[in-house]
Structure 1
Amino acid sequence: MSLETAIFAGGCFWCMVQPFDTYPGIEKVESGYTGGHVANPSYEQVKSGTTGHTEAVRITFDPAVVSYDDLVTIYWHQTDPTDAMGQFQDRGDNYRPVIFVRNEEQRRIATASKKRLAESGLFDEPIVTKIQDAQPFYLAEDYHQQFYRKHPERFAAEEAGGREQFKQEHWDKK
């Protein structure tokens, strides 16, 4: 089995883990930070907005079971691709939506998927999610890993902060 990785930023990483974690072919989903200029940042540093990092998830997957294109589709359904400066109640540069691509094949797939989404008519606003080269990924502190399993009540409250309503309004009407 040859595993690959994908990195997505789409607001609070607590909410980005669960949709991928239970999908067949996904071996591991890790919360972390990427896209900044400080090595090994802490949550407090990233939250301060001074490191340039965004909260993200790194997904290890088996491409024989789940394709990168499938992962990008799951990603779109977890985000508001029209909001460049945060996601739902999470505001700021450290919550910006970005697809971090690891190679030209991922770039081609992500770019084509973004184009299809823009042409779909699902959104009145432009799709502003960035597609950028992957940068070093730093694991978040242990208490952030698998947060939805460790703290289901807090996770449910975070999800209720607009993400679920947005999904119903945009994705469930398809």
Structure 2
Amino acid sequence: MKKMILMAPAIAAVLIAGCGADPQTSADTAPPAAAAAVPAVDVVPAPYAMAADAPTSGYCALDSANGQRGEVVTLPGSDVAVFGGWAADAEKQVPEGALFVFGNGADSHAVPLVAGANRPDVAAALGSEALAQAGFNLRLDLAGIPAGSYDLSVVTDPATSAHCDLRTRLVIE
């Protein structure tokens, strides 16, 4: 019983640290089992031009890319990949019209970000029940994206290109 009592604060600290005061990202947030319950949405990335002076805004995290986590993820360009994570705008709401962006300057690509996966951990950590469904699972065909290195982000406001940096570099071979 004492072990359970001692573990509860540690578990709470991990969840809160994952969505802490950093208004950008938390790549250390572990995905809950419920996030996998929402089927991945099949989409094909399209060319995208982000405004050069786009502001950073919102909260987000990439939990995994084809089961991989880290600052750099390498995937074959012929693969279909599943990206899972969560996103919130600056007002701590699920952003409408958000985009998942593969950016490397002149050759950037984007897909619509469709949220809906259960993320009670995000809602609790950011203090917004509106984020209980902030999770996403995107199933993307990488064949249309040229080999190269891409910084991943979520555009939370397409009108201004305001975005949240997922702090993950995707290398497509």
Same fold (TM over 0.5): no
> Larger % of helix: which?
1
| TM, length-normalised to structure 2 | 0.28
| TM, length-normalised to structure 1 | 0.28
Query: Which of 1 and 2 has greater Rg?
Result: 2
